[in-house]
Homo-oligomer: A and B are copies of this chain.
Amino acid sequence: MTNKFNKNSVGIVEPKTVEIKQSLKLDCGKTLDNFSLVYETYGKLNEKKNNAILICHALSGDHHAAGYHKEDDKKPGWWDSCIGPGKPFDTNKFFIVSLNNLGGCQGSTGPNTIDKKTKKEYGPDFPIVTVKDWVNSQKLLADFLEIDIWACVIGGSLGGMQALQWSISYPNKIKNSIVVAAAAKLSAQNIAFNEVARQAIITDPDFHDGRYNNFGVIPKRGLSIARMLGHITYLSDDSMRQKFGRDLREGKLHFGYDVDFQVESYLRYQAQAFVERFDANTYLLMTKALDYFDPAEEFEGDLSKAFEKTDSKFLVISFTSDWRFSSTKSREIVKSLVKARKKVSYSEIEANQGHDAFLMPIPQYLDVLKNFMDNIN
Protein backbone atom coordinates (compact mmCIF):
# COMPACT_ATOMS: atom_id res chain seq x y z
CA MET A 1 0.00 0.00 0.00
CA THR A 2 1.47 3.35 -1.06
CA ASN A 3 1.27 5.63 1.92
CA LYS A 4 3.02 8.94 2.04
CA PHE A 5 0.07 10.21 4.05
CA ASN A 6 -0.02 9.09 7.65
CA LYS A 7 0.07 5.79 9.40
CA ASN A 8 -3.66 5.52 9.84
CA SER A 9 -4.61 6.41 6.26
CA VAL A 10 -5.54 3.69 3.80
CA GLY A 11 -3.34 5.59 1.35
CA ILE A 12 -3.90 5.44 -2.41
CA VAL A 13 -7.03 3.55 -3.44
CA GLU A 14 -8.37 2.57 -6.81
CA PRO A 15 -12.06 2.35 -7.67
CA LYS A 16 -13.20 -0.88 -9.33
CA THR A 17 -16.22 -1.52 -11.49
CA VAL A 18 -18.39 -4.60 -11.61
CA GLU A 19 -20.90 -5.28 -14.30
CA ILE A 20 -23.88 -7.08 -12.81
CA LYS A 21 -25.51 -9.27 -15.43
CA GLN A 22 -28.47 -10.40 -13.36
CA SER A 23 -31.65 -8.46 -13.90
CA LEU A 24 -32.94 -6.35 -11.06
CA LYS A 25 -36.65 -5.77 -10.59
CA LEU A 26 -37.22 -2.32 -9.16
CA ASP A 27 -39.95 -1.05 -6.83
CA CYS A 28 -41.31 1.14 -9.63
CA GLY A 29 -42.14 -1.98 -11.65
CA LYS A 30 -39.36 -1.62 -14.21
CA THR A 31 -36.44 -4.02 -14.55
CA LEU A 32 -32.78 -3.21 -15.14
CA ASP A 33 -31.28 -6.04 -17.19
CA ASN A 34 -27.73 -5.24 -16.31
CA PHE A 35 -25.93 -2.44 -14.58
CA SER A 36 -22.51 -1.42 -13.32
CA LEU A 37 -21.49 -0.48 -9.83
CA VAL A 38 -18.33 1.40 -8.97
CA TYR A 39 -16.85 0.53 -5.60
CA GLU A 40 -13.74 0.75 -3.49
CA THR A 41 -12.45 -1.71 -0.91
CA TYR A 42 -10.17 -1.13 2.04
CA GLY A 43 -8.52 -3.93 4.05
CA LYS A 44 -8.55 -7.62 3.20
CA LEU A 45 -11.30 -10.22 3.09
CA ASN A 46 -10.27 -13.01 5.47
CA GLU A 47 -10.43 -16.69 4.59
CA LYS A 48 -13.69 -17.28 6.36
CA LYS A 49 -15.07 -14.26 4.52
CA ASN A 50 -16.75 -13.09 7.68
CA ASN A 51 -15.02 -9.75 8.16
CA ALA A 52 -16.72 -7.74 5.41
CA ILE A 53 -18.49 -4.50 6.16
CA LEU A 54 -20.51 -2.33 3.82
CA ILE A 55 -20.49 1.46 3.88
CA CYS A 56 -23.61 3.11 2.37
CA HIS A 57 -23.45 6.70 1.24
CA ALA A 58 -25.86 9.59 1.75
CA LEU A 59 -27.49 11.90 -0.79
CA SER A 60 -24.43 13.50 -2.31
CA GLY A 61 -21.82 10.90 -1.33
CA ASP A 62 -20.16 8.22 -3.43
CA HIS A 63 -17.85 5.19 -3.30
CA HIS A 64 -14.78 7.19 -2.37
CA ALA A 65 -15.11 6.94 1.41
CA ALA A 66 -11.46 6.74 2.44
CA GLY A 67 -7.91 7.33 1.25
CA TYR A 68 -6.75 9.19 -1.82
CA HIS A 69 -7.00 8.61 -5.55
CA LYS A 70 -3.81 10.50 -6.34
CA GLU A 71 -0.74 11.49 -4.35
CA ASP A 72 -1.64 15.15 -4.70
CA ASP A 73 -5.34 14.89 -3.81
CA LYS A 74 -6.19 17.67 -1.41
CA LYS A 75 -8.93 15.79 0.38
CA PRO A 76 -9.36 12.13 1.29
CA GLY A 77 -12.64 10.18 0.91
CA TRP A 78 -15.70 11.48 2.72
CA TRP A 79 -15.48 9.21 5.78
CA ASP A 80 -11.70 9.04 6.11
CA SER A 81 -11.97 9.98 9.78
CA CYS A 82 -13.65 6.61 10.42
CA ILE A 83 -11.94 4.24 7.97
CA GLY A 84 -8.32 3.10 8.22
CA PRO A 85 -5.84 1.22 10.36
CA GLY A 86 -6.80 1.70 14.01
CA LYS A 87 -9.84 3.77 13.17
CA PRO A 88 -13.42 2.75 14.09
CA PHE A 89 -13.80 0.86 10.81
CA ASP A 90 -10.40 -0.74 11.17
CA THR A 91 -8.78 -1.94 7.96
CA ASN A 92 -6.47 -4.19 10.01
CA LYS A 93 -9.53 -6.17 11.00
CA PHE A 94 -12.23 -5.57 8.40
CA PHE A 95 -12.66 -5.77 4.66
CA ILE A 96 -14.58 -2.62 3.86
CA VAL A 97 -16.72 -2.17 0.76
CA SER A 98 -18.01 1.22 -0.32
CA LEU A 99 -19.98 1.72 -3.52
CA ASN A 100 -21.58 4.43 -5.58
CA ASN A 101 -25.29 3.61 -5.59
CA LEU A 102 -27.37 2.80 -8.61
CA GLY A 103 -28.67 6.06 -10.08
CA GLY A 104 -25.56 7.88 -8.89
CA CYS A 105 -23.33 10.10 -10.97
CA GLN A 106 -19.84 8.96 -10.02
CA GLY A 107 -19.56 5.93 -12.28
CA SER A 108 -22.34 3.51 -11.33
CA THR A 109 -25.19 3.11 -13.78
CA GLY A 110 -27.38 6.17 -13.55
CA PRO A 111 -28.98 8.97 -15.54
CA ASN A 112 -25.66 9.84 -17.24
CA THR A 113 -25.05 6.27 -18.44
CA ILE A 114 -25.73 5.09 -22.00
CA ASP A 115 -28.68 2.70 -22.00
CA LYS A 116 -27.45 -0.35 -23.91
CA LYS A 117 -30.88 -0.95 -25.39
CA THR A 118 -31.46 2.50 -26.84
CA LYS A 119 -27.77 3.48 -27.23
CA LYS A 120 -28.77 6.80 -25.70
CA GLU A 121 -28.14 8.33 -22.31
CA TYR A 122 -30.84 7.42 -19.80
CA GLY A 123 -31.26 10.99 -18.56
CA PRO A 124 -34.70 11.46 -17.06
CA ASP A 125 -35.73 7.97 -18.23
CA PHE A 126 -33.54 6.40 -15.59
CA PRO A 127 -36.05 4.85 -13.19
CA ILE A 128 -36.56 6.25 -9.71
CA VAL A 129 -34.84 3.79 -7.42
CA THR A 130 -35.68 3.21 -3.78
CA VAL A 131 -33.64 2.35 -0.72
CA LYS A 132 -34.92 -1.21 -1.13
CA ASP A 133 -33.71 -1.27 -4.74
CA TRP A 134 -30.30 -0.09 -3.58
CA VAL A 135 -30.10 -2.81 -0.98
CA ASN A 136 -31.04 -5.41 -3.62
CA SER A 137 -28.33 -4.07 -5.92
CA GLN A 138 -25.84 -4.14 -3.03
CA LYS A 139 -26.79 -7.79 -2.42
CA LEU A 140 -25.77 -8.57 -6.00
CA LEU A 141 -22.46 -6.81 -5.37
CA ALA A 142 -22.02 -8.91 -2.20
CA ASP A 143 -22.67 -12.06 -4.24
CA PHE A 144 -20.05 -11.00 -6.77
CA LEU A 145 -17.55 -10.39 -3.95
CA GLU A 146 -18.49 -13.79 -2.47
CA ILE A 147 -19.59 -12.19 0.75
CA ASP A 148 -22.42 -14.27 2.14
CA ILE A 149 -22.98 -12.31 5.32
CA TRP A 150 -21.97 -8.75 6.21
CA ALA A 151 -20.28 -8.40 9.58
CA CYS A 152 -21.80 -4.93 9.56
CA VAL A 153 -23.68 -2.54 7.29
CA ILE A 154 -23.12 1.11 8.14
CA GLY A 155 -24.46 4.42 6.97
CA GLY A 156 -25.34 7.96 7.97
CA SER A 157 -28.45 9.85 6.88
CA LEU A 158 -29.76 8.23 3.67
CA GLY A 159 -26.95 5.70 4.21
CA GLY A 160 -28.44 4.82 7.59
CA MET A 161 -31.72 4.07 5.87
CA GLN A 162 -29.88 1.51 3.72
CA ALA A 163 -28.36 -0.09 6.83
CA LEU A 164 -31.88 -0.37 8.29
CA GLN A 165 -33.29 -1.78 5.07
CA TRP A 166 -30.57 -4.42 4.88
CA SER A 167 -31.70 -5.79 8.24
CA ILE A 168 -35.26 -6.00 6.91
CA SER A 169 -34.69 -7.17 3.32
CA TYR A 170 -31.94 -9.69 4.17
CA PRO A 171 -32.56 -10.43 7.84
CA ASN A 172 -30.04 -13.31 7.93
CA LYS A 173 -27.31 -11.76 5.80
CA ILE A 174 -26.27 -9.02 8.19
CA LYS A 175 -24.87 -9.43 11.68
CA ASN A 176 -24.75 -5.77 12.69
CA SER A 177 -26.21 -2.48 11.50
CA ILE A 178 -24.98 0.99 12.40
CA VAL A 179 -27.62 3.62 11.70
CA VAL A 180 -26.37 7.18 12.14
CA ALA A 181 -28.43 10.40 11.95
CA ALA A 182 -31.22 8.67 10.07
CA ALA A 183 -34.99 8.28 10.24
CA ALA A 184 -37.39 5.44 9.59
CA LYS A 185 -39.35 7.83 7.39
CA LEU A 186 -39.29 11.47 6.40
CA SER A 187 -41.56 14.03 8.02
CA ALA A 188 -43.80 16.34 5.99
CA GLN A 189 -41.24 19.10 6.60
CA ASN A 190 -38.41 16.93 5.23
CA ILE A 191 -40.48 16.11 2.15
CA ALA A 192 -41.35 19.78 1.73
CA PHE A 193 -37.68 20.82 1.68
CA ASN A 194 -36.96 18.10 -0.89
CA GLU A 195 -39.87 19.28 -3.01
CA VAL A 196 -38.57 22.86 -3.07
CA ALA A 197 -35.18 21.54 -4.15
CA ARG A 198 -36.77 19.47 -6.91
CA GLN A 199 -38.93 22.34 -8.13
CA ALA A 200 -35.85 24.58 -8.29
CA ILE A 201 -34.15 22.05 -10.57
CA ILE A 202 -37.15 21.08 -12.67
CA THR A 203 -38.28 24.67 -13.35
CA ASP A 204 -34.78 25.77 -14.40
CA PRO A 205 -35.13 26.41 -18.16
CA ASP A 206 -31.78 24.65 -18.64
CA PHE A 207 -33.30 21.46 -17.22
CA HIS A 208 -35.01 20.65 -20.54
CA ASP A 209 -37.16 17.92 -18.98
CA GLY A 210 -33.98 16.26 -17.75
CA ARG A 211 -32.34 16.09 -21.21
CA TYR A 212 -29.97 19.00 -20.53
CA ASN A 213 -26.94 17.04 -21.72
CA ASN A 214 -28.47 16.93 -25.21
CA PHE A 215 -28.51 20.73 -25.14
CA GLY A 216 -24.96 21.12 -23.86
CA VAL A 217 -26.11 22.83 -20.67
CA ILE A 218 -26.74 21.90 -17.06
CA PRO A 219 -29.46 23.33 -14.80
CA LYS A 220 -26.87 25.16 -12.72
CA ARG A 221 -29.26 27.67 -11.20
CA GLY A 222 -31.73 25.09 -9.96
CA LEU A 223 -29.11 22.65 -8.70
CA SER A 224 -27.35 25.49 -6.95
CA ILE A 225 -30.56 26.60 -5.17
CA ALA A 226 -31.22 22.97 -4.21
CA ARG A 227 -27.75 22.63 -2.73
CA MET A 228 -27.86 25.93 -0.83
CA LEU A 229 -31.15 24.91 0.70
CA GLY A 230 -29.87 21.44 1.54
CA HIS A 231 -26.78 22.95 3.07
CA ILE A 232 -28.81 25.07 5.50
CA THR A 233 -30.63 21.97 6.70
CA TYR A 234 -27.33 20.11 7.26
CA LEU A 235 -26.03 22.76 9.63
CA SER A 236 -27.46 23.79 12.97
CA ASP A 237 -28.57 27.32 13.77
CA ASP A 238 -25.91 27.29 16.46
CA SER A 239 -23.06 26.13 14.21
CA MET A 240 -24.00 28.79 11.65
CA ARG A 241 -23.94 31.41 14.38
CA GLN A 242 -20.49 30.28 15.48
CA LYS A 243 -19.20 30.03 11.94
CA PHE A 244 -20.67 33.19 10.44
CA GLY A 245 -22.73 35.16 12.96
CA ARG A 246 -23.78 38.36 11.21
CA ASP A 247 -20.26 39.01 9.91
CA LEU A 248 -20.15 41.14 6.80
CA ARG A 249 -17.89 40.04 3.98
CA GLU A 250 -16.53 43.49 3.31
CA GLY A 251 -17.28 45.17 6.61
CA LYS A 252 -20.25 47.13 5.30
CA LEU A 253 -23.74 46.72 3.85
CA HIS A 254 -24.09 47.24 0.10
CA PHE A 255 -27.78 48.04 -0.23
CA GLY A 256 -27.90 45.75 -3.23
CA TYR A 257 -28.22 42.05 -3.96
CA ASP A 258 -24.55 41.17 -4.04
CA VAL A 259 -23.07 39.40 -1.06
CA ASP A 260 -23.37 41.34 2.22
CA PHE A 261 -22.94 38.63 4.82
CA GLN A 262 -20.28 35.91 5.04
CA VAL A 263 -22.94 33.23 5.19
CA GLU A 264 -24.22 34.28 1.75
CA SER A 265 -20.75 34.06 0.28
CA TYR A 266 -20.18 30.63 1.82
CA LEU A 267 -23.46 29.20 0.51
CA ARG A 268 -22.88 30.52 -3.00
CA TYR A 269 -19.35 29.14 -3.08
CA GLN A 270 -20.39 25.72 -1.80
CA ALA A 271 -23.24 25.54 -4.29
CA GLN A 272 -20.96 26.42 -7.19
CA ALA A 273 -18.53 23.66 -6.26
CA PHE A 274 -21.41 21.19 -5.97
CA VAL A 275 -22.84 22.04 -9.38
CA GLU A 276 -19.47 21.18 -10.96
CA ARG A 277 -19.44 17.67 -9.54
CA PHE A 278 -23.02 16.52 -9.21
CA ASP A 279 -25.74 15.57 -11.67
CA ALA A 280 -29.20 17.12 -11.46
CA ASN A 281 -31.13 13.97 -12.44
CA THR A 282 -29.26 12.04 -9.75
CA TYR A 283 -30.08 14.75 -7.21
CA LEU A 284 -33.76 14.44 -8.08
CA LEU A 285 -33.89 10.68 -7.72
CA MET A 286 -31.92 10.72 -4.48
CA THR A 287 -34.48 13.06 -2.93
CA LYS A 288 -37.28 10.74 -4.05
CA ALA A 289 -35.50 7.74 -2.50
CA LEU A 290 -35.49 9.71 0.74
CA ASP A 291 -39.16 10.68 0.48
CA TYR A 292 -40.32 7.16 -0.41
CA PHE A 293 -38.43 5.36 2.36
CA ASP A 294 -40.95 3.95 4.83
CA PRO A 295 -40.17 0.31 5.65
CA ALA A 296 -43.01 0.12 8.17
CA GLU A 297 -45.56 0.68 5.45
CA GLU A 298 -45.59 -2.98 4.35
CA PHE A 299 -46.08 -3.95 7.99
CA GLU A 300 -49.28 -2.04 8.69
CA GLY A 301 -47.25 0.94 9.79
CA ASP A 302 -45.64 -1.03 12.63
CA LEU A 303 -41.88 -0.63 12.29
CA SER A 304 -41.20 -3.22 14.98
CA LYS A 305 -42.83 -5.87 12.78
CA ALA A 306 -40.42 -4.95 9.98
CA PHE A 307 -37.55 -5.91 12.28
CA GLU A 308 -39.09 -9.12 13.61
CA LYS A 309 -37.10 -11.56 11.47
CA THR A 310 -33.72 -9.92 11.57
CA ASP A 311 -30.64 -11.50 13.17
CA SER A 312 -28.86 -8.15 13.17
CA LYS A 313 -27.71 -6.25 16.23
CA PHE A 314 -27.99 -2.49 16.03
CA LEU A 315 -26.16 0.65 16.99
CA VAL A 316 -28.24 3.79 16.51
CA ILE A 317 -26.57 7.21 16.81
CA SER A 318 -28.01 10.72 16.67
CA PHE A 319 -26.66 14.22 17.32
CA THR A 320 -28.20 16.77 19.67
CA SER A 321 -28.25 19.67 17.18
CA ASP A 322 -29.42 17.69 14.12
CA TRP A 323 -32.79 19.17 13.14
CA ARG A 324 -32.98 17.49 9.73
CA PHE A 325 -33.15 14.02 11.33
CA SER A 326 -33.48 14.82 15.00
CA SER A 327 -32.83 12.47 17.91
CA THR A 328 -36.57 11.92 18.13
CA LYS A 329 -36.36 10.07 14.81
CA SER A 330 -33.56 7.85 16.05
CA ARG A 331 -35.47 7.12 19.24
CA GLU A 332 -38.44 5.97 17.15
CA ILE A 333 -36.16 3.42 15.50
CA VAL A 334 -34.75 2.34 18.86
CA LYS A 335 -38.22 1.94 20.37
CA SER A 336 -39.32 -0.27 17.47
CA LEU A 337 -36.19 -2.40 17.82
CA VAL A 338 -36.79 -2.76 21.54
CA LYS A 339 -40.40 -3.70 20.89
CA ALA A 340 -39.16 -6.33 18.42
CA ARG A 341 -36.81 -7.57 21.20
CA LYS A 342 -33.65 -6.93 19.19
CA LYS A 343 -30.25 -6.05 20.59
CA VAL A 344 -29.80 -2.32 20.21
CA SER A 345 -27.47 0.31 21.62
CA TYR A 346 -28.35 3.96 21.26
CA SER A 347 -26.08 6.94 21.66
CA GLU A 348 -27.05 10.59 21.40
CA ILE A 349 -23.87 12.55 20.79
CA GLU A 350 -23.56 16.10 22.12
CA ALA A 351 -22.55 18.03 19.01
CA ASN A 352 -23.41 21.44 17.61
CA GLN A 353 -22.66 20.72 13.94
CA GLY A 354 -26.22 19.72 13.04
CA HIS A 355 -26.88 16.88 10.60
CA ASP A 356 -23.35 17.21 9.18
CA ALA A 357 -21.99 15.99 12.51
CA PHE A 358 -22.15 12.42 11.19
CA LEU A 359 -19.21 13.24 8.89
CA MET A 360 -17.12 14.92 11.59
CA PRO A 361 -14.33 13.43 13.72
CA ILE A 362 -16.12 14.08 17.02
CA PRO A 363 -14.17 12.15 19.69
CA GLN A 364 -17.17 10.78 21.59
CA TYR A 365 -18.76 9.69 18.30
CA LEU A 366 -15.60 7.92 17.08
CA ASP A 367 -15.29 6.23 20.49
CA VAL A 368 -18.85 4.91 20.33
CA LEU A 369 -18.29 3.57 16.81
CA LYS A 370 -14.94 2.04 17.71
CA ASN A 371 -16.26 0.39 20.82
CA PHE A 372 -19.12 -1.19 18.90
CA MET A 373 -16.87 -2.37 16.08
CA ASP A 374 -14.23 -3.76 18.48
CA ASN A 375 -16.88 -5.98 20.01
CA ILE A 376 -17.98 -7.49 16.71
CA ASN A 377 -17.21 -11.27 16.66
Q: Which residues of A contact B (CB under 8 A)?
A: 27-29, 127-128, 185-189, 191-193, 195-196, 198-200, 202-205, 221, 224-225, 228-229, 231-232, 235, 237, 240-241, 243-246, 253, 255-257, 260-261, 263-264, 267-268, 284, 288, 291-292, 294, 323
Contacts and interface: CB of A to CB of B under 8 A. Distances in A.
A181 B85 CA distance: 52
B128 A240 contact: no
B127 A255 contact: yes
Contacts of A232: 189, 192-193, 196
A200 B187 contact: no
Among A29, A221, A244, A257, residue most surrounded by chain B Cβ atoms (within 10 Å): A257
A257 B284 contact: yes
A257 B204 CA distance: 14
A263 B199 contact: no
Given A255-B28, A256-B128, A291-B260, A241 B188 contact: yes
Number of copies of chain A assembled together: 2
Nearest to A297: B246
Nearest to A261: B191
A229 B228 contact: no
A245 B199 CA distance: 20
Nearest to A264: B195
Given A225-B225, A246-B186, A292 B195 contact: no
A267 B127 contact: no
Contacts of A202: 257
A128 B254 CA distance: 10
A205 B205 contact: yes
Contact of A200 (B198, B200, B264, B292): B200
A188 B189 CA distance: 20
30 contacts: A27-B255, A127-B255, A128-B255, A188-B240, A188-B241, A188-B246, A188-B261, A189-B232, A189-B235, A189-B237, A189-B241, A191-B261, A191-B263, A191-B264, A192-B231, A192-B240, A192-B267, A195-B268, A196-B228, A196-B232, A196-B267, A199-B225, A199-B228, A199-B268, A200-B200, A204-B221, A225-B225, A229-B229, A246-B294, A257-B288
List 4 tightest A-B contacts by C-beta distance, closest first.
A28-B255, A188-B240, A203-B221, A188-B244
A73 B8 CA distance: 71
Contacts of A196: 225, 228-229, 232, 267
B192 A263 contact: yes
